[in-house]
Structure 1
Amino acid sequence: MSLFFKTPLDIEVRLDGDDSREHVEVKNAKGRKEKLPLYKDGETVRGQVTVRIKDNKRVEHTGVKVQLLGSIEIQNDGLQSDDFLSLAHELASPGDLTHPETFQFEFRNVEKQYESYRGANVRLRYYIKVTVSRKSADVIREKELWVHQHQGAVEESAPPPPSSVKMDVGIEDCLHIEFEYSRNRYSLKDVIVGRIYFLLVRLKIKHMELSLIRRETCGAPPHQLSDSEVLIRFEIMDGAPVRGETIPIRLFLGGFDLTPTYKDVNKKFSTRTFLSLVLIDEDARRYFKQSEIILYRE
């Protein structure tokens, strides 16, 4: 038995306006960047499917189908996949393929209720799937598209953000640092503006940095998975501060690969973003404090 199945068909999927449409660069499982066409909630997805036979051989099939699928895939002791969107059109009834054939498809005004996402253990994706069904082995071709939601993560019923947020790092009688920043909700293109105040410094601080950390959780206890990734690391100072010193902070978010805050997406996963202040003394001891911020797409 051959280890490799040689498909008798080539399937090509083209989306209308693909050349002029905005694309998004995302990393695949191998860490390489790929460009995917960007779609919005409620937008129609249409295009063409071309099926070509190889070696001029007649291919018998039991139907050609195109689907628009939305799925959440979780890597947890094996891949678990759950479809939250499934639309389908029959392109051809059972018959024979003897020459190249092109089929038009259209999925009108599709509700795309979640954003596309690729994380450590979770992938939320939308894709076109074409299946040429055969009595032996089906021939399948997929084409992924990317979806952004622009309503943001700030709910209308949410209370107004505070005028400023304060985060303290302290050790009794040794260290007291206060980090004050403008608010706790930011768009993905925003700027975090703040100041760090050194109120008490009796430790020899050698280094200080500010970072953004994304925490992804999926599944339910006791089998819940959690993974943290440092998205931005920003050096604030290198050297010893003195009492009364103030350091201004301006952290531009726009140039980084950030995602909005996702809360219990389809009861499958969540992502949260934390602002983390880290201090390292001359004995390499680390002192840190984290505070959550809400990110949203305008």
Structure 2
Amino acid sequence: MMSFFGFGQSAEVDIYLDGQETRKRAEVKTEDGKKEKLLLYYDGETVSGKVNVSLKKPGSKLEHQGIKIEFIGQIEMYYDRGNHHEFISLVKELARPGEMIAHTSYPFEFSNVEKSYEVYTGGNVRLRYFLRVTIIRRLADIIKELDIAVHTLCSYPEMNNPIKMEVGIEDCLHIEFEYNKSKYHLKDVIVGKIYFLLVRIKIKHMEIAIIKREVTGSGPNTFTENVTIAKYEIMDGAPVRGESIPIRVFLAGYELTPTMREVNKKFSVRYYLNLVLMDTEDRRYFKQQEITLWRRGDKVRKPNIQAPAIMAGTQNLENTTAVYGQQRNGDQGENDSNADNNESQEAPNKEDFLRSQSNDKLNNSVADPFDQVNSSPLDRSPENQIQNMKREEGDGQNDVANENVE
């Protein structure tokens, strides 16, 4: 920061963090879209180090009104850049007012700092953590800032039901889609399938997309931005009844963040799987489903202490197979009846595809399917189990003739 009357800074400030040579780093997107690697911290970790202040000219002196360091957690809304919302603000005094006549190092420590939110840079909002050193002077302060990255880790969710639903257009198309889980960690794999029960329209292709919805602000200053993170075609051509299409999406290759809901009552980030069908007249039908993303900590591989037993067990493989076969034959009738009961309990929730009213596929409100109250699709009332599949207006030549598909 430059002083008045053309004089530059008389000192340089450098912030050194303890263990920074060995600490893990994380890529964080900057406001201009670039990426930088920042030192990575987690909730509750101590942030400590030292501030080195060096004079530019040997033999000179630096008069100041005090030196302080702050640890700040801040949310910046792009539509209101003048106001920064600080949810963490810790201050440590490094030096009282006086003169500095030589290079000086000041140790600091912020013990067990609560860091509840993850760093995030989006289309309309930015959440950052940083250290700020201020040398207070009469004419112009000398300020140095250093950003750090913060990740929030979660444990495996206790409730993680699969998503299973029957959707379609009445008397034209019925399909059943299923995803193996409703909550995925950022390196997970989405496994699913689509089964065609009725096909009476000419389908040209089908695609699936991962969509991120960022909602910032509130009231009249609410801004929503939808970003398609990934999109690819899962079927080309017209399917027939009984056809099954597999889905396999590897999340590790995409730039994803954990799901964030009402972060400091300023913004939310949510993710959706969007299933889209297109017919031969270029009409698009879609059905979207929200998924929850979470960040998992690094796994530590345990030693395989059962390896000798496994090797020994292979010698009796034939005997084990024979015994298992006898037991399986004896229990076949019981298993068949249990299978029938399981099928009746896991009946898919029936809904219909929706027709879009605009180009924004996510304009319509979507209930959170992961709340504990709605964890089971069988708990829903019958009148809520069927909805119309949406179709985009203005995307086909026969909109009037096809209004009955809504």
TM over 0.5: yes
Query: Residues of 2 paired with 1:203 and 1:139: CA distance?
Result: 69
Question: 2:17 maps to what in 1?
Answer: 15
Deviations 1:178-227 (A, max 9, x none): 21111211222221111011222333322321111111112111221111
The Cα shift of 1:167 comes to 3.9
Identity %: 52
Deviations 1:31-67 (A, max 9, x none): 1110011111111111121112224443321111111
Query: Residues of 1 paired with 2:88 and 2:142: CA distance?
Result: 22
Question: 1:129 maps to what in 2?
Answer: 132
Q: Kindly provide the amino acid, as one letter, of the partner of residue 53 in structure 1.
A: L
Q: 1:277 to 1:161 in 2, by over 3 A?
A: same
SS at match of 1:222: helix
Question: 2:145 maps to what in 1?
Answer: 142
- Equivalent residue for 1:242, pick from 236, 240, 243: 240
Q: Using CA pairs under 8 Å that are at least 6 residues apart, name the structure with larger relative contact order, 1 or 2.
A: 1
The Cα shift of 1:87 comes to 1.1
Question: 2:282 maps to what in 1?
Answer: 284
Q: Kindly provide the amino acid, as one letter, of the partner of residue 134 in structure 1.
A: R
Deviations 1:103-161 (A, max 9, x none): 1111111111222222211211111111111111111111111111213595x7xxx33
Bigger share in helix: 2
Q: 1:4 to 1:230 in 2, by over 3 A?
A: farther
RMSD: 2.3
Runs of 4+ with >4 A deviation: 1-5
Q: How does 1:54-93 map to 2 (within 5 A)?
A: 54-56=56-58, 57-93=60-96
SS at match of 2:39: strand
Query: Residues of 1 paired with 2:17 and 2:11: CA distance?
Result: 20
Contact 1:167 1:291 in 2 (8 A): no
The Cα shift of 1:248 comes to 0.9
Q: Kindly provide the amino acid, as one letter, of the partner of residue 39 in structure 1.
A: Y
SS at match of 1:213: strand
How many residue pairs match? The answer is: 293
- Equivalent residue for 2:48, pick from 46, 52, 58: 46
Contact 2:4 2:139 in 1 (8 A): no
Contact 1:167 1:289 in 2 (8 A): no
- Equivalent residue for 2:273, pick from 272, 275, 283: 275
- Equivalent residue for 1:116, pick from 116, 119, 131: 119
Question: 2:182 maps to what in 1?
Answer: 184
The reply on whether 1:28 has 2:24 as its aligned counterpart is: no
Q: 1:2 to 1:220 in 2, by over 3 A?
A: same
SS at match of 2:132: strand
Query: Residues of 2 paired with 1:98 and 1:282: CA distance?
Result: 80
Question: 2:102 maps to what in 1?
Answer: 99
- Equivalent residue for 1:258, pick from 243, 256, 259: 256
The Cα shift of 1:294 comes to 1.2
Q: 1:283 to 1:98 in 2, by over 3 A?
A: farther
Q: Kindly provide the amino acid, as one letter, of the partner of residue 161 in structure 1.
A: N
TM-score between both structures, scaled by the size of structure 2: 0.67
The farther-off stretch of 16-25 and 168-177 is 168-177
Contact 2:25 2:37 in 1 (8 A): yes
Question: 2:171 maps to what in 1?
Answer: 173
Q: 1:77 to 1:68 in 2, by over 3 A?
A: closer
Question: 1:212 maps to what in 2?
Answer: 210
- Please identify the structure whose Cα radius of gyration is greater: 2
Question: 1:161 maps to what in 2?
Answer: 160
Query: Residues of 2 paired with 1:151 and 1:36: CA distance?
Result: 21
Query: Residues of 1 paired with 2:293 and 2:19: CA distance?
Result: 31
SS at match of 1:76: helix
The farther-off stretch of 5-14 and 105-114 is 5-14
The farther-off stretch of 238-247 and 24-33 is 238-247
Contact 2:51 2:105 in 1 (8 A): yes
The Cα shift of 1:85 comes to 1.0
